Amino acid sequence: MLELTIEQISMEQSAVNKPAALQLLADLLVADGLVAPGYLEGLQAREQQGSTFLGQGIAIPHGTPQTRDQVFATGVRLMQFPEGVDWGDGQMVYLAIGIAAKSDEHLRLLQLLTRALGENDLGEALRQAKDPESLLQLLQGAPQELALDAQMISLGVMVDDFEELVWRGARLLRKAECVNNGFAAVLQQVEPLPLGEGLWWLHSEQMVNKPGLAFVTPDKPMRHLGQTLTGLFCLASLGESHQALLERLCALLIEGRGHELGQAKSSRAVLQALGGDVPPDWPSERVTLANAHGLHARPAKILAQLAKGFDGDVRVRIVDGTDNPVSAKSLSKLLSLGVQRGQSLEFIAEPTIAAQALPALVAAVLDGLGEEIEALPAHSEPGADKAVAQKTLSAPAAGSQRQAVPASPGIAFGPAHVHVLPVLDYPLQGESQGVEHERLHSALAQVRVDIEQLIARSSAKAIREIFVTHQEMLADPELVDEVAQRLRQGESAAAAWMNVIEAAARQQEQLKDALLAERAADLRDVGRRVLAQICGVEDLVEPDEPYILVMDEVGPSDVARLDPARVAGILTARGGATAHSAIVARALGIPALVGAGDDVLLITSGTQLLIDGQRGRLDVAPDEATLKRALQDRDTREQRLKAAAALRMEPAITQDGHAVEVFANIGDSAGTPAAVEQGAEGIGLLRTELLFMAHSSAPDEATQEAEYRRVLDDLDGRPLVVRTLDVGGDKPLPYWPIDKEENPFLGVRGIRLTLQRPDIMESQLRALLRAADNRPLRIMFPMVGTVEEWRQAREMTERLRLEIPVADLQLGIMIEVPSAALLAPVLAKEVDFFSVGTNDLTQYTMAIDRGHPTLSAQADGLHPAVLQLIDITVRAAHAHGKWVGVCGELAADPLAVPVLVGLGVDELSVSARSIGEVKACVRELNLIEARKLAQTALAAGSAADVRALVEGL
């Protein structure tokens, strides 16, 4: 990501001409390791194609697509030339921003610069800047404007109470990217201010990215705190940008015109009253941009020049974008849109010039704006570009084997049934508003009936819940409002529906929380169902024999519609293990592999496939021997599971008499009885963040104490290992705002976060100590990476313990960060125990995001590098008489159990349903043999080698 910092700036440079300036920049980029020396040629070639002068004394020299392979790392270097350099045509440059970019990252930089480019006399100010700080400040431009336009206004919304209205206001702000997720929860905590005449006001500065004001009115006046409410303002406040608006609002109230806002029937009326951006009621036309590198400086310049030729206002916006239209005559404004290939633009022109300007602008875009363009795929569905790319792929060869993400356990074998979703063609323009409205609503009604039937037919709760969510998505008033608006503008039902769904899905995808982001698949799933209805397309026809369904990304409703007796297994090209389709597959007991790669879609239907949903393995047309082994494995596994279930309450003791404790991981304090019933000898990991996430504000000490007490009561004397709150980064709490981070997994998580909020940590510790009542309580701290973190956490607990004595307390840390494992010899002297969180330890050791849709299959905890860290931990702990548990997913992997026991792990903590199987695995072992196996595994070169080693036993 390109950002501007003072370290990148070289002040007071001088160059006699442009070639000399380019040479200076290239030398600096090379010296800083960003590019190879050949990049200079790219800079020169690019200037020959067209000057990179941007305006206001700034040029942005960068390479050409041909010299991208000379870039080692994306970055920028800025050089100030106070004497100026003539960049051609007498355009003087005082600041050259040399860009090393592998793709189109410079569009982002242009977006950053555009606010500054709107300033008068920027060039002169850049020339005179005396230090990097003031230069950077100039580049960052004017304070941000308050976002207030038609998209920030929702009138007559159907809500039950004030809370829901606040939520709707916050949602408008979030859609406009003014605020982060969680802003609604922040607003709920703020005291609302009655302005009079039925208007209310709420504002906060927390979780705000850019200032914005939303205005929502309920469908009928409501009462709040004993007063009438007809309209609510929600302000995402940042700096002083809302000052002018406030003054205007006060003036309106003094004039006694406040009720006009509460009774407004159109957003235009509200905007006119408040002085917001009123959308012009002008003719418009749309066109999709096909330029390979988006609307970068050169094509944008041509577009701006063309627009300038018309004597009237021409604006442009990205269809489905959140930004307001900008002037098509302003180069900097055009660049600020950051348009990419495949995005649709809408030109809006003053009526007097529209007839000439709109066709000319559309034709120029279609013509490539001075660049050669490759036509877009016929239908710009998401993934359509991918479909083109797939042409260069080939199907995996017969006899080949690969790893994918295991999504639902079990072994399945059968012919492939490759189901590539048909590209549905539909007109963009509608026949008439009435006809399209009718089409849409009868399709929606039909899909609702279908979903009702699916809910009624599904015996699994998880599946029913998913379809209830689909029903809610279909009924979302905001979606329906947006589609209706598009129908009014003349779009067809299909186009209006898909545009809205796709925009919503894209927005969902951008959420940092992987689980929430994966809900985009549900939106698209529902979207396709409705589209298929509108287009009159039939459902997928299943083959007769049990088969392996191969799809790009299976929508949950695709899976739930399938007959588990006929679908032996599921294989998808994309998707993650937490996708709803995976949840459905698990609920139906259908083995599934996801994220296997795009080329699996090229497998010919009928090819025999073997999938192992536990190991994450796919065999294409396996030979007889492989198949026989796999099917034997399946039978043996089924028998083993039955036998294991029968012995689940017995202890796990190896054949030579070594006992390993098998505990359960739970998140819900109500889950203990079920875990004990499955054979748990204690709780090895209570993930307390789930308790915090279930509340809209931090649960107080008494609430927490009751929850912890419940677990201890249900354990009836068995030990409880509790992990203190592990939130932050990728799993934020709505009421606990955290600054946005580039890499949340490497950011303020776990103990790093709780140590910053000792009040929350203390109240959790107090609640735990009070709940203990001398029962065996073990407290551990997540994400510890340094000795200091551990000591601070321990000191806090010990201090509280003086106040609330507990007889049977142990304090430990989770080993999740490699530094903690490497420091185990030091930490072991001080802790009572370690518990290895292999999910995180693997991600940090392998540098693979644990939720990565395509790489996470490679993040295998049996990698010798991870095993080495566990080995260090166990050795250190045992040398000081301390115990070690493993509570990550690895502990439940039957191939990992022998290795972990061989490494000396004392306790395995797994999900309740795996307890029987893990105990059975331990019982099959001989400790001496397992130790030898572990030593060999430590010397292996890959996780695959370790797995092969264990399988060879």
Q: Given the rule CB under 6 A, which residues bind ligand PEP?
A: 685, 687, 726, 816, 837-840, 887-888
Kindly list the distances between the CA atom of residue 434 and the CA atoms of 401, 487, 488, 492, 529, in Å, as whole numbers in the listed order: 54, 9, 9, 11, 22
Q: How far is the CB of 689 from Mg ion (least distance, A)?
A: 10
Residues ≥6 apart with Cβ < 8 Å to 638 = none
Residue 200, both tokens:
């209310």
Can you give the binding site for Mg ion, defined by CB under 5 A? Answer: 816, 837, 840
- Residues 242, 580, 863, 921: which is the catalytic one? 580
344 binds, among Mg ion, ligand PEP, none (CB under 5 to 8 A by kind): none
Give the angle subtended at the CA of 437 by the CAs of 432 and 443, to the nearest 5°: 130
What's the Rg (C-alpha) of the chain? 31
- The Cα 60–Cα 66 span in angstroms is 18
Q: The dihedral of CA 238, 239, 243, 245: what is its sign?
A: negative
- Report the residue number, 707 or 889, with the smaller CB distance to Mg ion: 889
Q: How far is the CB of 257 from ligand PEP (least distance, A)?
A: 55
888 binds, among ligand PEP, Mg ion, none (CB under 5 to 8 A by kind): ligand PEP
Residue 379 bears catalytic tag? no
Helices (H), 685-829: 689-693, 701-715, 750-756, 758-772, 787-803, 818-822, 824-827
Q: How far is the CB of 943 from ligand PEP (least distance, A)?
A: 16
- Report the residue number, 346 or 513, with the smaller CB distance to ligand PEP: 513
- The Cα 527–Cα 501 span in angstroms is 6
Q: How far is the CB of 843 from Mg ion (least distance, A)?
A: 9
Length of the chain: 953
Kindly list the distances between the CA atom of residue 683 and the CA atoms of 56, 105, 638, 767, 910, in Å, as whole numbers in the listed order: 65, 48, 26, 18, 9
Residue 326, both tokens:
């900008």
Q: How far is the CB of 840 from Mg ion (least distance, A)?
A: 4
- Report the residue number, 685 or 784, with the smaller CB distance to ligand PEP: 685
- Residues 106, 178, 242, 296: which is the catalytic one? 296
Say what angle helices 864-879 and 838-846 make with each other, to 10 degrees.
Answer: 130
- The Cα 10–Cα 114 span in angstroms is 21
Kindly list the distances between the CA atom of residue 564 and the CA atoms of 410, 458, 461, 637, in Å, as whole numbers in the listed order: 13, 12, 16, 20
- Report the residue number, 261 or 720, with the smaller CB distance to ligand PEP: 720
Nearest C-alpha neighbor of 893 from the set 613, 643, 680: 613
Strands (E), 651-717: 652-653, 659-666, 683-687
Q: How far is the CB of 723 from ligand PEP (least distance, A)?
A: 7
Neighbours of 536 (CB within 10 A): 8
- Report the residue number, 415 or 667, with the smaller CB distance to ligand PEP: 667
- Report the residue number, 315 or 850, with the smaller CB distance to ligand PEP: 850
Residue 887 bears catalytic tag? yes
Kindly list the distances between the CA atom of residue 791 and the CA atoms of 339, 786, 831, in Å, as whole numbers in the listed order: 51, 9, 9
Q: How far is the CB of 895 from ligand PEP (least distance, A)?
A: 17
Residues ≥6 apart with Cβ < 8 Å to 207 = 179, 180, 181, 182, 183, 186, 737
Residue 587, both tokens:
């609920």
619 binds, among ligand PEP, Mg ion, none (CB under 5 to 8 A by kind): none
- Report the residue number, 304 or 821, with the smaller CB distance to ligand PEP: 821
- Report the residue number, 137 or 839, with the smaller CB distance to ligand PEP: 839
Give me the residues paired with residue 326 across strands: 316
- Report the residue number, 153 or 675, with the smaller CB distance to ligand PEP: 675
- Residues 106, 234, 242, 887: which is the catalytic one? 887
Sole residue written with tokens 């960049």: 87
Looking at the chain, the number of H-run helices and the number of E-run strands are: 37, 33
The alpha carbon of residue 343 and the mean position of all alpha carbons in its chain are separated, in whole angstroms, by 21
Contact between residue 635 and residue 417 where contact means Cβ atoms under 8 Å apart = no
838 binds, among Mg ion, ligand PEP, none (CB under 5 to 8 A by kind): ligand PEP
Contact between residue 519 and residue 578 where contact means Cβ atoms under 8 Å apart = no
- The Cα 885–Cα 592 span in angstroms is 30
Residue 580 bears catalytic tag? yes
Contact between residue 90 and residue 20 where contact means Cβ atoms under 8 Å apart = no
User: Assign residue 722 a region: left if phi > 0, alpha if psi is -120 to 50, beta otherwise?
Assistant: beta
Contact between residue 724 and residue 777 where contact means Cβ atoms under 8 Å apart = no
Residue 62 bears catalytic tag? yes
313 binds, among Mg ion, ligand PEP, none (CB under 5 to 8 A by kind): none
- Report the residue number, 714 or 816, with the smaller CB distance to ligand PEP: 816
User: Assign residue 595 a region: left if phi > 0, alpha if psi is -120 to 50, beta otherwise?
Assistant: left
699 binds, among Mg ion, ligand PEP, none (CB under 5 to 8 A by kind): none
Nearest C-alpha neighbor of 112 from the set 238, 239, 236, 2: 2
Q: Which helix (H) or strand (E) holds 933?
A: helix 927-938
Catalytic residues: 62, 296, 580, 887
